[in-house]
Chains A and B, each alone.
Chain A
Amino acid sequence: MEAFHAQGEAMNDKLTSSKSREPVPVHVVGQFSWGLTILFVLASVCWVLLPYTGSTFSALVFLLAIVLAGTRWNRGPVLTMGVVSALVWNFIFLPPRFTLHIEKPADMIMFAMFFVVALSMGHLITRLRERERTAENLHREQEQLQAAKHRAELAAEAERLHRTLLDSVSHELKTPIAIIRTAIDGLGTANPFAAEIETATRRLQRIVENFLEITRVESEAVKPSPDWCEFLDVIHAATSPLQRELLPHPLRISGAETLPLLKLDSRLLSQALANVMHNATQHVPAGSEIEISAAVLPNDTLDLRVRDHGPGLPPEMEERVFEKFARAPGAPAGGTGLGLAISRGLMRAMKGDISVRNHPEGGAEFLFSLPVKTRQP
Protein backbone atom coordinates (compact mmCIF):
# COMPACT_ATOMS: atom_id res chain seq x y z
CA MET A 1 0.00 0.00 0.00
CA GLU A 2 2.81 2.33 0.98
CA ALA A 3 4.66 1.48 -2.20
CA PHE A 4 1.60 2.08 -4.32
CA HIS A 5 1.10 5.45 -2.73
CA ALA A 6 4.73 6.43 -3.29
CA GLN A 7 4.49 5.35 -6.89
CA GLY A 8 1.43 7.53 -7.24
CA GLU A 9 3.47 10.45 -6.00
CA ALA A 10 6.22 9.71 -8.48
CA MET A 11 3.62 9.62 -11.24
CA ASN A 12 2.30 13.00 -10.18
CA ASP A 13 5.78 14.45 -10.28
CA LYS A 14 6.27 12.97 -13.70
CA LEU A 15 3.11 14.67 -14.90
CA THR A 16 4.09 18.07 -13.57
CA SER A 17 7.63 17.79 -14.91
CA SER A 18 6.46 16.89 -18.40
CA LYS A 19 4.12 19.85 -18.23
CA SER A 20 6.95 22.22 -17.29
CA ARG A 21 8.98 21.04 -20.30
CA GLU A 22 6.44 22.64 -22.63
CA PRO A 23 7.17 26.39 -22.76
CA VAL A 24 4.63 28.53 -21.04
CA PRO A 25 3.74 31.26 -23.61
CA VAL A 26 4.17 34.26 -21.25
CA HIS A 27 7.59 32.96 -20.36
CA VAL A 28 8.64 32.70 -24.02
CA VAL A 29 7.37 36.17 -24.85
CA GLY A 30 9.61 37.41 -22.03
CA GLN A 31 12.57 35.60 -23.54
CA PHE A 32 11.89 37.13 -26.98
CA SER A 33 11.77 40.65 -25.61
CA TRP A 34 14.80 40.09 -23.39
CA GLY A 35 16.74 38.71 -26.36
CA LEU A 36 15.94 41.68 -28.56
CA THR A 37 16.73 44.15 -25.74
CA ILE A 38 20.09 42.51 -25.15
CA LEU A 39 20.89 42.62 -28.86
CA PHE A 40 19.97 46.30 -28.90
CA VAL A 41 22.22 47.07 -25.93
CA LEU A 42 25.12 45.04 -27.36
CA ALA A 43 24.73 46.67 -30.75
CA SER A 44 24.86 50.12 -29.12
CA VAL A 45 27.97 49.25 -27.10
CA CYS A 46 29.69 47.76 -30.17
CA TRP A 47 28.71 50.79 -32.17
CA VAL A 48 30.46 53.00 -29.63
CA LEU A 49 33.50 50.73 -29.61
CA LEU A 50 33.54 50.22 -33.38
CA PRO A 51 36.35 52.76 -34.07
CA TYR A 52 38.64 50.81 -31.71
CA THR A 53 37.64 47.24 -32.45
CA GLY A 54 36.39 46.72 -35.96
CA SER A 55 33.34 44.76 -37.13
CA THR A 56 34.65 41.26 -36.34
CA PHE A 57 34.62 42.05 -32.61
CA SER A 58 30.91 42.88 -32.68
CA ALA A 59 30.22 39.63 -34.54
CA LEU A 60 31.94 37.65 -31.80
CA VAL A 61 30.05 39.59 -29.09
CA PHE A 62 26.76 38.67 -30.78
CA LEU A 63 27.79 35.04 -31.06
CA LEU A 64 28.71 35.01 -27.37
CA ALA A 65 25.32 36.45 -26.49
CA ILE A 66 23.61 33.74 -28.56
CA VAL A 67 25.64 30.99 -26.92
CA LEU A 68 24.80 32.31 -23.44
CA ALA A 69 21.13 32.71 -24.36
CA GLY A 70 21.16 29.14 -25.68
CA THR A 71 22.21 27.83 -22.30
CA ARG A 72 19.17 29.41 -20.60
CA TRP A 73 16.36 29.92 -23.09
CA ASN A 74 14.14 28.04 -25.46
CA ARG A 75 15.02 27.38 -29.04
CA GLY A 76 12.56 29.91 -30.58
CA PRO A 77 13.96 33.05 -28.92
CA VAL A 78 17.58 31.88 -29.42
CA LEU A 79 17.15 31.23 -33.13
CA THR A 80 15.36 34.56 -33.51
CA MET A 81 18.32 36.22 -31.79
CA GLY A 82 20.60 34.50 -34.30
CA VAL A 83 18.63 35.78 -37.31
CA VAL A 84 18.17 39.29 -35.88
CA SER A 85 21.84 39.62 -34.84
CA ALA A 86 23.00 38.53 -38.31
CA LEU A 87 20.78 41.17 -39.89
CA VAL A 88 21.81 43.85 -37.37
CA TRP A 89 25.46 43.02 -37.88
CA ASN A 90 25.07 43.30 -41.63
CA PHE A 91 22.96 46.47 -41.33
CA ILE A 92 25.11 48.38 -38.87
CA PHE A 93 28.62 46.98 -38.88
CA LEU A 94 29.28 45.67 -42.39
CA PRO A 95 30.06 48.33 -44.96
CA PRO A 96 28.20 49.94 -46.60
CA ARG A 97 26.54 50.78 -43.26
CA PHE A 98 22.81 51.11 -42.72
CA THR A 99 21.96 48.97 -45.75
CA LEU A 100 21.49 45.25 -46.05
CA HIS A 101 23.62 45.37 -49.13
CA ILE A 102 27.12 43.91 -48.93
CA GLU A 103 29.84 45.01 -51.33
CA LYS A 104 32.96 42.96 -50.74
CA PRO A 105 32.74 39.25 -51.49
CA ALA A 106 34.83 38.63 -48.36
CA ASP A 107 32.20 40.41 -46.21
CA MET A 108 29.48 38.48 -47.95
CA ILE A 109 31.19 35.22 -47.05
CA MET A 110 31.68 36.49 -43.47
CA PHE A 111 28.00 37.37 -43.26
CA ALA A 112 26.98 33.95 -44.53
CA MET A 113 29.35 32.30 -42.09
CA PHE A 114 28.05 34.41 -39.21
CA PHE A 115 24.52 33.50 -40.15
CA VAL A 116 25.26 29.78 -40.26
CA VAL A 117 27.36 29.81 -37.10
CA ALA A 118 24.79 31.82 -35.12
CA LEU A 119 21.91 29.57 -36.13
CA SER A 120 23.72 26.28 -35.68
CA MET A 121 25.20 27.34 -32.33
CA GLY A 122 21.78 28.39 -31.09
CA HIS A 123 20.28 25.18 -32.36
CA LEU A 124 22.99 22.88 -30.99
CA ILE A 125 23.19 24.45 -27.59
CA THR A 126 19.45 24.51 -27.00
CA ARG A 127 19.23 20.92 -28.19
CA LEU A 128 22.02 19.90 -25.88
CA ARG A 129 20.27 21.56 -23.00
CA GLU A 130 16.95 19.92 -23.80
CA ARG A 131 18.61 16.53 -23.84
CA GLU A 132 20.32 17.27 -20.60
CA ARG A 133 17.02 18.23 -19.07
CA THR A 134 15.27 15.12 -20.37
CA ALA A 135 18.05 13.00 -18.97
CA GLU A 136 17.79 14.85 -15.70
CA ASN A 137 14.03 14.31 -15.55
CA LEU A 138 14.48 10.67 -16.36
CA HIS A 139 17.09 10.41 -13.70
CA ARG A 140 14.86 12.12 -11.17
CA GLU A 141 11.94 9.86 -12.03
CA GLN A 142 14.15 6.86 -11.66
CA GLU A 143 15.35 8.15 -8.35
CA GLN A 144 11.78 8.66 -7.20
CA LEU A 145 10.83 5.17 -8.32
CA GLN A 146 13.87 3.81 -6.57
CA ALA A 147 12.93 5.70 -3.44
CA ALA A 148 9.40 4.32 -3.63
CA LYS A 149 10.75 0.83 -4.12
CA HIS A 150 13.12 1.34 -1.26
CA ARG A 151 10.30 2.49 1.02
CA ALA A 152 8.24 -0.55 0.04
CA GLU A 153 11.16 -2.83 0.73
CA LEU A 154 11.72 -1.16 4.07
CA ALA A 155 8.07 -1.67 5.00
CA ALA A 156 8.21 -5.33 3.97
CA GLU A 157 11.46 -5.73 5.86
CA ALA A 158 9.93 -4.11 8.96
CA GLU A 159 6.98 -6.48 8.76
CA ARG A 160 9.30 -9.45 8.33
CA LEU A 161 11.43 -8.33 11.26
CA HIS A 162 8.34 -7.85 13.35
CA ARG A 163 7.20 -11.36 12.56
CA THR A 164 10.64 -12.79 13.20
CA LEU A 165 10.78 -10.98 16.51
CA LEU A 166 7.32 -12.23 17.43
CA ASP A 167 8.35 -15.75 16.43
CA SER A 168 11.52 -15.68 18.45
CA VAL A 169 9.88 -14.10 21.51
CA SER A 170 7.19 -16.73 21.19
CA HIS A 171 9.85 -19.43 20.98
CA GLU A 172 11.79 -18.08 23.96
CA LEU A 173 8.70 -17.82 26.15
CA LYS A 174 7.01 -21.04 25.20
CA THR A 175 10.03 -23.33 25.31
CA PRO A 176 10.62 -23.04 29.07
CA ILE A 177 6.88 -23.43 29.69
CA ALA A 178 6.92 -26.57 27.55
CA ILE A 179 9.87 -27.88 29.55
CA ILE A 180 8.15 -27.20 32.87
CA ARG A 181 4.94 -28.84 31.69
CA THR A 182 6.71 -31.94 30.45
CA ALA A 183 8.68 -32.14 33.69
CA ILE A 184 5.50 -31.79 35.78
CA ASP A 185 3.79 -34.45 33.67
CA GLY A 186 6.71 -36.74 34.42
CA LEU A 187 6.56 -35.91 38.12
CA GLY A 188 2.80 -36.50 38.33
CA THR A 189 0.49 -34.23 40.27
CA ALA A 190 -0.03 -36.55 43.24
CA ASN A 191 2.26 -34.25 45.20
CA PRO A 192 0.22 -31.13 46.07
CA PHE A 193 3.25 -28.91 45.43
CA ALA A 194 3.58 -30.29 41.93
CA ALA A 195 -0.13 -29.70 41.43
CA GLU A 196 0.33 -26.02 42.33
CA ILE A 197 3.17 -25.70 39.84
CA GLU A 198 1.03 -27.35 37.23
CA THR A 199 -1.84 -24.89 37.75
CA ALA A 200 0.52 -21.93 37.69
CA THR A 201 2.18 -23.17 34.51
CA ARG A 202 -1.14 -23.42 32.74
CA ARG A 203 -1.92 -19.90 33.86
CA LEU A 204 1.47 -18.67 32.66
CA GLN A 205 0.95 -20.38 29.34
CA ARG A 206 -2.39 -18.67 28.87
CA ILE A 207 -0.88 -15.29 29.75
CA VAL A 208 1.96 -15.74 27.26
CA GLU A 209 -0.41 -16.88 24.55
CA ASN A 210 -2.70 -13.92 25.20
CA PHE A 211 0.15 -11.44 25.08
CA LEU A 212 1.43 -12.85 21.81
CA GLU A 213 -2.05 -12.88 20.36
CA ILE A 214 -2.88 -9.29 21.31
CA THR A 215 0.44 -8.25 19.74
CA ARG A 216 -0.53 -10.01 16.54
CA VAL A 217 -3.99 -8.47 16.56
CA GLU A 218 -2.68 -4.98 17.23
CA SER A 219 0.05 -5.12 14.62
CA GLU A 220 -2.64 -6.19 12.12
CA ALA A 221 -0.71 -9.38 11.49
CA VAL A 222 -4.03 -11.25 11.65
CA LYS A 223 -5.22 -11.90 8.12
CA PRO A 224 -8.54 -13.74 7.89
CA SER A 225 -8.72 -16.53 5.33
CA PRO A 226 -12.40 -17.46 5.07
CA ASP A 227 -13.34 -20.95 4.01
CA TRP A 228 -16.52 -23.00 4.12
CA CYS A 229 -17.17 -24.55 7.47
CA GLU A 230 -19.79 -26.11 9.64
CA PHE A 231 -20.71 -24.04 12.59
CA LEU A 232 -20.63 -26.97 14.99
CA ASP A 233 -16.94 -27.38 14.10
CA VAL A 234 -16.36 -23.79 15.22
CA ILE A 235 -18.03 -24.47 18.55
CA HIS A 236 -16.11 -27.70 18.95
CA ALA A 237 -12.81 -25.96 18.20
CA ALA A 238 -13.66 -23.23 20.70
CA THR A 239 -14.74 -25.49 23.54
CA SER A 240 -12.35 -28.42 23.29
CA PRO A 241 -9.32 -26.53 24.67
CA LEU A 242 -11.53 -25.38 27.56
CA GLN A 243 -12.72 -28.80 28.66
CA ARG A 244 -11.25 -28.34 32.11
CA GLU A 245 -12.83 -24.91 32.66
CA LEU A 246 -16.15 -25.96 31.16
CA LEU A 247 -16.45 -29.09 33.25
CA PRO A 248 -18.61 -27.47 35.96
CA HIS A 249 -20.81 -25.65 33.44
CA PRO A 250 -23.43 -27.44 31.37
CA LEU A 251 -23.39 -26.12 27.78
CA ARG A 252 -26.62 -25.55 25.89
CA ILE A 253 -26.24 -25.03 22.18
CA SER A 254 -29.18 -23.95 20.08
CA GLY A 255 -29.61 -23.06 16.44
CA ALA A 256 -26.20 -24.35 15.34
CA GLU A 257 -27.61 -27.68 14.07
CA THR A 258 -29.77 -26.03 11.45
CA LEU A 259 -27.27 -23.47 10.18
CA PRO A 260 -26.18 -23.70 6.55
CA LEU A 261 -22.53 -23.97 5.58
CA LEU A 262 -20.82 -20.69 6.39
CA LYS A 263 -17.86 -19.07 4.73
CA LEU A 264 -15.69 -17.57 7.45
CA ASP A 265 -12.29 -17.95 9.08
CA SER A 266 -13.24 -20.66 11.53
CA ARG A 267 -9.99 -20.49 13.45
CA LEU A 268 -10.31 -16.78 14.23
CA LEU A 269 -13.98 -17.06 15.10
CA SER A 270 -13.43 -20.08 17.32
CA GLN A 271 -10.63 -18.26 19.10
CA ALA A 272 -12.80 -15.18 19.66
CA LEU A 273 -15.54 -17.48 20.95
CA ALA A 274 -13.14 -19.42 23.16
CA ASN A 275 -11.97 -16.26 24.90
CA VAL A 276 -15.55 -15.22 25.64
CA MET A 277 -16.35 -18.71 26.93
CA HIS A 278 -13.27 -18.69 29.10
CA ASN A 279 -14.25 -15.29 30.43
CA ALA A 280 -17.72 -16.61 31.24
CA THR A 281 -16.34 -19.59 33.17
CA GLN A 282 -14.32 -17.16 35.30
CA HIS A 283 -17.28 -15.05 36.32
CA VAL A 284 -20.16 -17.39 36.96
CA PRO A 285 -20.82 -19.74 39.86
CA ALA A 286 -20.01 -23.41 39.27
CA GLY A 287 -22.96 -25.43 38.02
CA SER A 288 -24.58 -22.55 36.15
CA GLU A 289 -25.41 -23.07 32.53
CA ILE A 290 -23.72 -21.36 29.56
CA GLU A 291 -25.86 -20.98 26.47
CA ILE A 292 -24.64 -20.59 22.91
CA SER A 293 -27.14 -19.69 20.24
CA ALA A 294 -26.52 -18.98 16.59
CA ALA A 295 -28.56 -17.80 13.62
CA VAL A 296 -27.97 -16.30 10.23
CA LEU A 297 -29.91 -13.06 9.80
CA PRO A 298 -31.57 -12.22 6.45
CA ASN A 299 -28.77 -9.71 5.68
CA ASP A 300 -26.18 -12.54 5.62
CA THR A 301 -24.87 -11.79 9.07
CA LEU A 302 -24.04 -14.50 11.53
CA ASP A 303 -25.60 -13.67 14.87
CA LEU A 304 -23.90 -15.60 17.65
CA ARG A 305 -24.75 -15.17 21.31
CA VAL A 306 -23.13 -16.48 24.45
CA ARG A 307 -25.16 -16.06 27.57
CA ASP A 308 -24.18 -16.92 31.08
CA HIS A 309 -26.19 -17.00 34.29
CA GLY A 310 -23.74 -15.10 36.43
CA PRO A 311 -24.11 -11.75 38.13
CA GLY A 312 -23.92 -9.82 34.85
CA LEU A 313 -21.79 -6.75 34.25
CA PRO A 314 -21.49 -3.81 36.62
CA PRO A 315 -23.08 -0.67 35.14
CA GLU A 316 -21.05 1.10 32.44
CA MET A 317 -18.70 -1.83 31.93
CA GLU A 318 -20.37 -2.80 28.62
CA GLU A 319 -17.76 -1.04 26.52
CA ARG A 320 -14.87 -1.13 28.91
CA VAL A 321 -14.68 -4.92 29.13
CA PHE A 322 -13.25 -4.95 25.60
CA GLU A 323 -10.42 -2.63 26.52
CA LYS A 324 -7.02 -4.08 27.22
CA PHE A 325 -6.37 -4.89 30.87
CA ALA A 326 -9.91 -3.90 31.80
CA ARG A 327 -11.02 -5.86 34.80
CA ALA A 328 -14.42 -5.80 36.33
CA PRO A 329 -14.39 -5.11 40.07
CA GLY A 330 -14.51 -8.42 41.90
CA ALA A 331 -13.10 -10.37 38.95
CA PRO A 332 -11.13 -13.40 40.10
CA ALA A 333 -7.35 -13.15 40.00
CA GLY A 334 -5.56 -14.97 37.23
CA GLY A 335 -7.07 -13.30 34.22
CA THR A 336 -4.89 -11.25 31.91
CA GLY A 337 -7.54 -8.70 31.02
CA LEU A 338 -6.71 -9.40 27.40
CA GLY A 339 -9.09 -12.17 26.35
CA LEU A 340 -12.01 -9.98 25.42
CA ALA A 341 -9.78 -7.36 23.79
CA ILE A 342 -8.40 -10.15 21.61
CA SER A 343 -11.92 -11.33 20.80
CA ARG A 344 -12.91 -7.87 19.67
CA GLY A 345 -9.67 -7.46 17.67
CA LEU A 346 -10.25 -10.77 15.91
CA MET A 347 -13.90 -10.02 15.16
CA ARG A 348 -12.97 -6.63 13.73
CA ALA A 349 -10.16 -8.15 11.67
CA MET A 350 -12.93 -10.23 10.08
CA LYS A 351 -15.11 -7.13 9.52
CA GLY A 352 -17.44 -8.21 12.27
CA ASP A 353 -17.85 -7.02 15.85
CA ILE A 354 -18.69 -8.08 19.34
CA SER A 355 -20.63 -6.38 22.09
CA VAL A 356 -22.09 -7.29 25.46
CA ARG A 357 -25.15 -6.44 27.47
CA ASN A 358 -26.89 -7.59 30.56
CA HIS A 359 -29.64 -10.00 29.62
CA PRO A 360 -33.06 -8.80 30.80
CA GLU A 361 -33.46 -12.06 32.68
CA GLY A 362 -30.04 -11.85 34.30
CA GLY A 363 -26.53 -12.81 33.31
CA ALA A 364 -24.26 -11.32 30.71
CA GLU A 365 -24.92 -11.85 27.01
CA PHE A 366 -22.15 -11.45 24.43
CA LEU A 367 -23.28 -10.75 20.89
CA PHE A 368 -21.04 -11.58 17.94
CA SER A 369 -21.97 -10.37 14.51
CA LEU A 370 -20.10 -11.35 11.39
CA PRO A 371 -20.88 -10.97 7.69
CA VAL A 372 -20.87 -14.44 6.10
CA LYS A 373 -21.68 -16.21 2.87
CA THR A 374 -23.99 -19.17 3.30
CA ARG A 375 -24.86 -22.33 1.45
CA GLN A 376 -27.44 -24.97 2.29
CA PRO A 377 -25.65 -28.29 2.82
Chain B
Amino acid sequence: MSKALIIDDEQQMRRLLRMLLESRGYEVCEAEEGQQGLQEAAFHRPDVVLLDLGLPGLGGLEVLKRLREWSDVPVLILSVRDQEATKVQALEIGADDYVTKPFGSAELLARLDVIQRRRGPRHTPEIIAGPLKVDLLHHEAQIGDEALKLTPTEFALLKVLTEHVGRIVTQNQIVKQVWPGQSSDASEGLRVHINHLRKKLGDRGVSIVNEPGIGYRLEA
Protein backbone atom coordinates (compact mmCIF):
# COMPACT_ATOMS: atom_id res chain seq x y z
CA MET B 1 0.00 0.00 0.00
CA SER B 2 1.37 3.39 -1.00
CA LYS B 3 1.61 6.15 1.52
CA ALA B 4 0.76 9.67 0.35
CA LEU B 5 1.49 12.95 2.09
CA ILE B 6 -0.78 15.90 1.31
CA ILE B 7 0.66 19.34 2.08
CA ASP B 8 -2.11 21.89 1.50
CA ASP B 9 -3.46 24.72 3.63
CA GLU B 10 -7.08 24.27 2.49
CA GLN B 11 -8.82 21.92 4.85
CA GLN B 12 -11.56 20.99 2.36
CA MET B 13 -9.00 20.23 -0.30
CA ARG B 14 -7.09 17.99 2.10
CA ARG B 15 -10.27 16.20 3.10
CA LEU B 16 -11.30 15.59 -0.51
CA LEU B 17 -7.85 14.46 -1.56
CA ARG B 18 -7.78 12.12 1.41
CA MET B 19 -11.13 10.57 0.38
CA LEU B 20 -10.01 10.32 -3.23
CA LEU B 21 -6.68 8.72 -2.38
CA GLU B 22 -8.05 6.42 0.30
CA SER B 23 -10.64 5.15 -2.17
CA ARG B 24 -7.66 4.13 -4.32
CA GLY B 25 -6.00 2.29 -1.46
CA TYR B 26 -3.52 4.93 -0.42
CA GLU B 27 -2.62 5.47 3.20
CA VAL B 28 -2.84 9.23 3.70
CA CYS B 29 -1.18 11.71 6.04
CA GLU B 30 -1.65 15.47 5.94
CA ALA B 31 0.09 18.71 6.79
CA GLU B 32 -1.39 22.19 6.59
CA GLU B 33 1.82 24.16 6.34
CA GLY B 34 5.36 23.75 5.05
CA GLN B 35 7.38 23.14 8.18
CA GLN B 36 4.88 20.57 9.39
CA GLY B 37 4.93 19.03 5.92
CA LEU B 38 8.69 18.53 6.11
CA GLN B 39 8.38 16.94 9.55
CA GLU B 40 5.62 14.62 8.37
CA ALA B 41 7.72 13.66 5.38
CA ALA B 42 10.65 12.80 7.63
CA PHE B 43 8.48 10.94 10.09
CA HIS B 44 6.13 8.98 7.80
CA ARG B 45 8.48 8.46 4.83
CA PRO B 46 5.66 8.76 2.25
CA ASP B 47 5.86 7.13 -1.19
CA VAL B 48 4.49 10.22 -2.85
CA VAL B 49 3.94 13.86 -1.85
CA LEU B 50 1.17 16.16 -3.10
CA LEU B 51 2.42 19.68 -2.54
CA ASP B 52 0.51 22.96 -2.82
CA LEU B 53 2.62 26.01 -3.70
CA GLY B 54 0.61 28.74 -1.97
CA LEU B 55 1.36 27.69 1.58
CA PRO B 56 1.42 30.14 4.47
CA GLY B 57 4.82 30.61 6.06
CA LEU B 58 7.30 28.40 4.27
CA GLY B 59 6.22 28.52 0.60
CA GLY B 60 5.75 25.39 -1.48
CA LEU B 61 8.86 25.94 -3.59
CA GLU B 62 10.96 26.34 -0.44
CA VAL B 63 9.46 23.16 1.02
CA LEU B 64 10.35 21.32 -2.17
CA LYS B 65 13.91 22.68 -2.08
CA ARG B 66 14.42 21.56 1.52
CA LEU B 67 12.76 18.18 0.91
CA ARG B 68 15.10 17.56 -2.01
CA GLU B 69 18.12 18.06 0.24
CA TRP B 70 17.55 14.67 1.81
CA SER B 71 14.77 12.88 -0.06
CA ASP B 72 13.99 11.85 -3.62
CA VAL B 73 10.37 10.94 -2.88
CA PRO B 74 8.20 11.62 -5.95
CA VAL B 75 6.54 15.04 -5.61
CA LEU B 76 3.45 16.17 -7.48
CA ILE B 77 2.82 19.93 -7.39
CA LEU B 78 -0.85 20.76 -7.07
CA SER B 79 -1.37 24.48 -7.44
CA VAL B 80 -3.71 27.14 -8.77
CA ARG B 81 -0.71 28.96 -10.24
CA ASP B 82 -0.66 28.30 -13.95
CA GLN B 83 2.21 30.50 -15.10
CA GLU B 84 4.82 28.62 -17.11
CA ALA B 85 7.67 30.25 -15.21
CA THR B 86 6.41 28.82 -11.91
CA LYS B 87 5.96 25.38 -13.42
CA VAL B 88 9.43 25.34 -14.91
CA GLN B 89 10.90 26.56 -11.64
CA ALA B 90 9.14 23.85 -9.63
CA LEU B 91 10.13 21.13 -12.09
CA GLU B 92 13.75 22.22 -12.11
CA ILE B 93 13.93 22.33 -8.32
CA GLY B 94 12.91 18.69 -8.42
CA ALA B 95 9.14 18.32 -8.70
CA ASP B 96 8.16 15.26 -10.69
CA ASP B 97 5.06 16.72 -12.25
CA TYR B 98 2.70 19.65 -12.01
CA VAL B 99 -1.09 19.63 -11.99
CA THR B 100 -3.01 22.91 -11.89
CA LYS B 101 -6.12 23.32 -9.81
CA PRO B 102 -8.93 22.84 -10.71
CA PHE B 103 -8.01 19.36 -11.91
CA GLY B 104 -9.82 16.21 -12.93
CA SER B 105 -9.52 13.38 -10.42
CA ALA B 106 -8.75 10.80 -13.09
CA GLU B 107 -5.89 12.88 -14.39
CA LEU B 108 -4.51 13.43 -10.91
CA LEU B 109 -4.53 9.70 -10.13
CA ALA B 110 -2.91 8.88 -13.45
CA ARG B 111 -0.11 11.38 -12.82
CA LEU B 112 0.40 10.01 -9.33
CA ASP B 113 0.78 6.51 -10.74
CA VAL B 114 3.28 7.68 -13.31
CA ILE B 115 5.56 9.52 -10.94
CA GLN B 116 5.67 6.58 -8.56
CA ARG B 117 7.14 4.19 -11.12
CA ARG B 118 10.46 4.10 -9.46
CA ARG B 119 13.32 6.05 -10.85
CA GLY B 120 15.69 4.29 -8.48
CA PRO B 121 18.50 1.95 -9.50
CA ARG B 122 17.73 0.00 -12.63
CA HIS B 123 18.53 -3.67 -12.72
CA THR B 124 18.34 -4.12 -16.44
CA PRO B 125 19.90 -2.01 -19.16
CA GLU B 126 16.52 -1.72 -20.81
CA ILE B 127 13.74 0.82 -20.43
CA ILE B 128 10.31 -0.18 -21.62
CA ALA B 129 7.51 2.28 -22.25
CA GLY B 130 4.47 0.76 -23.92
CA PRO B 131 5.58 -0.64 -27.27
CA LEU B 132 8.90 1.21 -27.03
CA LYS B 133 12.02 -0.57 -25.84
CA VAL B 134 15.26 1.34 -25.29
CA ASP B 135 18.40 -0.78 -24.90
CA LEU B 136 21.01 1.29 -23.08
CA LEU B 137 23.70 -1.36 -23.41
CA HIS B 138 23.69 -1.52 -27.18
CA HIS B 139 22.30 1.97 -27.80
CA GLU B 140 19.37 0.61 -29.70
CA ALA B 141 15.68 1.31 -29.62
CA GLN B 142 12.73 -0.51 -31.07
CA ILE B 143 9.00 -0.12 -31.31
CA GLY B 144 7.21 -3.43 -31.27
CA ASP B 145 9.56 -5.61 -33.28
CA GLU B 146 10.84 -2.87 -35.50
CA ALA B 147 14.26 -1.36 -34.79
CA LEU B 148 14.54 2.42 -34.97
CA LYS B 149 17.48 3.93 -36.83
CA LEU B 150 18.55 6.78 -34.57
CA THR B 151 21.49 9.16 -34.56
CA PRO B 152 23.43 9.33 -31.26
CA THR B 153 21.71 12.64 -30.38
CA GLU B 154 18.26 11.24 -31.13
CA PHE B 155 19.05 8.21 -29.01
CA ALA B 156 20.18 10.38 -26.09
CA LEU B 157 17.01 12.44 -26.45
CA LEU B 158 14.79 9.36 -26.56
CA LYS B 159 16.61 7.95 -23.54
CA VAL B 160 15.93 11.06 -21.43
CA LEU B 161 12.27 11.16 -22.41
CA THR B 162 11.76 7.43 -21.92
CA GLU B 163 13.37 7.49 -18.50
CA HIS B 164 10.72 10.02 -17.56
CA VAL B 165 7.89 8.43 -19.52
CA GLY B 166 4.57 10.08 -18.74
CA ARG B 167 6.29 12.92 -16.93
CA ILE B 168 7.15 16.33 -18.19
CA VAL B 169 10.84 17.09 -18.70
CA THR B 170 11.77 20.76 -19.00
CA GLN B 171 13.72 22.01 -21.96
CA ASN B 172 16.69 22.85 -19.72
CA GLN B 173 16.74 19.39 -18.22
CA ILE B 174 16.76 17.82 -21.67
CA VAL B 175 19.49 20.10 -22.97
CA LYS B 176 21.63 19.45 -19.86
CA GLN B 177 21.46 15.70 -20.36
CA VAL B 178 21.69 15.49 -24.12
CA TRP B 179 24.25 18.23 -24.68
CA PRO B 180 26.10 18.40 -21.37
CA GLY B 181 28.05 21.59 -20.92
CA GLN B 182 26.07 23.50 -23.51
CA SER B 183 24.03 26.58 -22.82
CA SER B 184 20.28 26.21 -22.62
CA ASP B 185 20.22 28.31 -25.77
CA ALA B 186 20.15 25.10 -27.74
CA SER B 187 16.35 25.20 -28.04
CA GLU B 188 16.47 25.50 -31.81
CA GLY B 189 18.60 22.37 -32.13
CA LEU B 190 16.34 20.61 -29.67
CA ARG B 191 13.25 21.33 -31.82
CA VAL B 192 15.01 20.00 -34.89
CA HIS B 193 16.00 16.74 -33.20
CA ILE B 194 12.58 16.33 -31.59
CA ASN B 195 11.08 16.80 -35.02
CA HIS B 196 13.28 14.08 -36.54
CA LEU B 197 12.64 11.77 -33.62
CA ARG B 198 8.90 12.24 -33.92
CA LYS B 199 9.04 11.33 -37.60
CA LYS B 200 10.97 8.15 -36.79
CA LEU B 201 8.57 7.22 -33.98
CA GLY B 202 5.72 7.73 -36.40
CA ASP B 203 2.22 6.85 -35.38
CA ARG B 204 2.83 3.67 -33.45
CA GLY B 205 1.54 4.37 -29.97
CA VAL B 206 4.47 6.42 -28.74
CA SER B 207 4.32 10.18 -29.03
CA ILE B 208 6.26 13.16 -27.80
CA VAL B 209 3.92 15.83 -26.51
CA ASN B 210 5.03 19.43 -26.17
CA GLU B 211 3.84 21.64 -23.33
CA PRO B 212 4.31 25.20 -24.54
CA GLY B 213 6.89 27.13 -22.59
CA ILE B 214 7.76 24.13 -20.39
CA GLY B 215 9.09 21.08 -22.14
CA TYR B 216 8.21 17.62 -23.44
CA ARG B 217 6.45 14.53 -22.24
CA LEU B 218 6.75 11.08 -23.77
CA GLU B 219 3.41 9.33 -23.88
CA ALA B 220 3.24 5.62 -24.47
Chain A residues proximal to chain B, CB less than 8 Å: 167, 170-171, 174-175, 177-183, 185-186, 201, 205, 225, 227-230, 233-234, 236-237, 261, 265-267, 270, 375, 377
Contact = CB atoms under 8 A, between A and B. Distances in A.
Interface in B11-26: 12-13, 16-17, 19-20, 23
B195 A266 contact: no
B10 interface: yes
B144 interface: no
B191 A175 contact: no
Contact of B192 (A177, A182, A233, A261): A261
Given A177-B102, A181-B102, A230-B191, 16 more contacts: A167-B81, A171-B54, A171-B80, A175-B80, A177-B101, A182-B17, A182-B105, A227-B187, A228-B190, A233-B210, A233-B212, A234-B212, A261-B188, A265-B213, A267-B84, A270-B212
Contact of A185 (B84, B104, B187, B190): B104
B207 to A, nearest CB: 10
Nearest to A183: B16
Nearest to B108: A182
B20 to A, nearest CB: 6
20 contacts: A171-B80, A175-B80, A178-B80, A179-B10, A181-B103, A182-B17, A182-B20, A183-B16, A185-B104, A230-B210, A233-B210, A236-B209, A261-B191, A266-B210, A267-B84, A267-B213, A270-B212, A377-B191, A377-B195, A377-B196
Nearest to B196: A377
Nearest to B17: A182
Report, nearest first, the 3 A-B pairs whose CB atoms are least far apart. Answer: A185-B105, A178-B101, A178-B102
Contacts of B103: 178, 181-182
A175 B105 contact: no
Nearest to A263: B188
Q: Which of B54, B81, B212 has the most CB of A within 10 A?
A: B212
A266 B13 contact: no
Given A174-B80, A230-B195, A186 B213 contact: no
Contacts of B19: 186
Q: Which of A167, A185, A227 has the most CB of B within 10 A?
A: A185
B211 interface: yes
Contacts of B188: 228, 261, 375
